[in-house]
Chain A
């Protein structure tokens, strides 16, 4: 009988199907009964109303909103208390710093940011030793207004040299690259520059190796609102973007940083998400009032993969690439792509829609299935 096992293994690995007929004994031994043995696919539609016949194992899917993905979600819940940040709250948690007036009358906005090592739970039960800004991943979503003077006091409490490299207009001295604001553990640096251009930007650490410092968690959104006074011809649009203005209060604004984590350090991401926690908005959908427009500040920082994308179900949106214009750069689309550090503003409305759950995800199925997928829960009103 020597050799049979080796032969079978070889066969299995090459997946050969032999032409010379199938012996009744062999085929029957494997109890191949055609598709009868196959597991049926669970219903993929929201509400799980349609169930594939014979899919008895899947009808008992998970309860709640993740039911729209059948059993294809991570299991359990992330302890936001231990993490110190909650993906739901993060959506609207803007860091506006402290305001003061400079001798010349300009507004000075000061942010304080510390770098620290912190173990965070990026998916239920999965811990990741992150490098963070202010103990959270993504770092605080900074928001300023065009034309202000910005002062960012940066202290490195981490175990490695770090920096903050802003995407914006500034002097070489303030760039956050080695020799210009890259500081060792225990050191402090103050970045100063003017808030311009207005738009949806980002910041990240620019210490080397860059890939590692970014994927370990050192990034965040950096939004500069347009100053309506400087854009008289489009003042209304600019006012709607200006945080806290009456026009702005009519909008439902969310900040989403598309990120991912390589937990086994093989150069590929094991988990994808917006705002760190895989499947967070699948398990707790984002509540939206039907009547009010939605604006999303979207930033892509995913490492290792060349592009990421955003696709909205059942609706189309206007897109402002990098947010530096007051008129859309793309009109009426339901999908945009972003390479790393690309970002933009999405504007859409569900006013004409039925209430219900509307999915959003990248149209890279792999990312979706590895955690980056969520739901808008469109309601008549939001408390």
Chain B
């Protein structure tokens, strides 16, 4: 392929040579008319009537949120039926309970409503909510461990912030504190560090996409979770690539900022999911596990430091990078515990994955520019392995 198209080739492209004309307009209107005509035929002749075999309409309900408090339990449901569907009765633990629906009435496709049941739930025990629709179909939602849903008061926001700081901000700050020590590394050491960054980002990418798909699977079908995850990741990747490459490939502080942004977006998605998990009843978080997460995330700081080792950077910039990469964990925890639906967490994780892909591409490009021959050098390979390996092994600490 040539670098630039010739004017001959341009001329061959239809519609380019001639100015927009009435003929063009006609060819816009005609297909639209054909479409309207097809719809009209479909409505007038109702050929689908032959498919109506008397079966009840397909119904679907997704549970998006669960709230437990002194007044009982509430679930936010989203309908996904072919036709509007009506929730007739509600069971909790195989017993019928009176309930209030807000807003009341049948739920059209995509509509959501709160179902409130004055159920005396028991702390630390499991409960199951089953909705029975007019057709007799049932939809089950399990509450694995009943815990009062956090409310937005000062103490809960503060304690979540502390948790977010420990698993999001502290490790990035600790990683960045290696900065002075790392400045002295030679050419090969630099290659090692950049490759290590690619490795850890690659681990995050795989992990984030896995989580995003899993959460997308819990979301109402109307959101088409898997397509949404792929599209959001692709869009965030392309947008960040386009922004990042306005003035050539990013390097130095700009690249470090993109890495921090990618990790930050990722932490936002994780924070949402963790906050939601707490709301759903994670009873206690062992000290050992918090330590595990902190260690696991220390590499993120080293990754951010790698591109700026040869630069002069003001101290406040480090603080800003730490906040950008780690701060969203706090934000995510807050939002996730107070207002959560799986599709939003999946969306945040997907956007983060796209951002991570962007920095993988850019750091790899930087490695290549520095010395193409060393792209597959032992230093680069060991760096890559160290990055992925460290993430994988420290993840073992927190997988039970």
Contacts and interface: CB of A to CB of B under 8 A. Distances in A.
Contacts of A19: 286
Interface stretch (A9-17, A143-151, A314-322): A9-17
Contacts of B284: 17-18, 22-23, 26-27, 30
Interface stretch (A69-77, A85-93, A230-238): A69-77
B399 interface: yes
B103 interface: no
Interface string A103-120: 000000000000000000
Contacts, number: 253
Given A30-B147, A371-B96, A57 B118 contact: yes
B101 to A, nearest CB: 10
Given A38-B123, A58-B120, A62-B98, A4 B293 contact: yes
B262 interface: no
Contact of A30 (B70, B273, B281): B281
A31 B94 contact: no
A5 B70 contact: no
A30 B282 contact: yes
Given A25-B166, A264-B138, A15 B126 contact: yes
Interface in A242-271: 261, 263-264, 266, 270
B229 interface: no
Interface residues of A, number: 72
A26 B285 contact: yes
B112 interface: no
Query: What's the dominant secondary structure at chain A's contact region?
Result: loop
A30 B71 CA distance: 18
Interface stretch (A39-47, A188-196, A205-213): A39-47
Nearest to A14: B400
Contact of B395 (A3, A9, A24, A75): A3
B121 A72 contact: no
Contacts of B192: none
Nearest to A366: B94
Interface string B280-309: 111111111110010011000000000000
Interface residues of B, number: 87
A29 interface: yes
A229 interface: no
Given A37-B68, A42-B120, A18 B289 contact: yes
B72 A57 contact: yes
Query: What's the dominant secondary structure at chain B's contact region?
Result: mixed
Contacts of A57: 70-72, 118
Contacts of B285: 18, 22-23, 25-27, 29
20 contacts: A8-B274, A10-B399, A10-B400, A14-B400, A17-B284, A22-B287, A26-B290, A29-B159, A30-B281, A37-B70, A37-B148, A39-B69, A39-B120, A56-B70, A71-B118, A75-B99, A76-B88, A123-B89, A127-B136, A369-B95
Given A3-B398, A264-B138, 17 more contacts: A1-B167, A4-B293, A11-B282, A15-B144, A18-B286, A22-B286, A23-B289, A30-B282, A37-B68, A38-B70, A57-B70, A58-B120, A127-B135, A263-B138, A270-B91, A370-B94, A370-B95
Interface of A: 1-42, 54-58, 62, 70-76, 123-128, 261, 263-264, 266, 270, 278-279, 366, 369-371
Nearest first, the 4 A-B pairs at minimum CB distance are: A26-B285, A263-B136, A37-B148, A125-B88
Interface of B: 68-73, 86, 88-91, 94-99, 117-123, 126, 132-138, 144-145, 147-151, 153, 155-156, 159-160, 162-163, 166-168, 203-204, 207-208, 210-211, 214, 266-267, 270-271, 273-274, 277-290, 293, 296-297, 329, 333, 337, 391, 395, 398-400
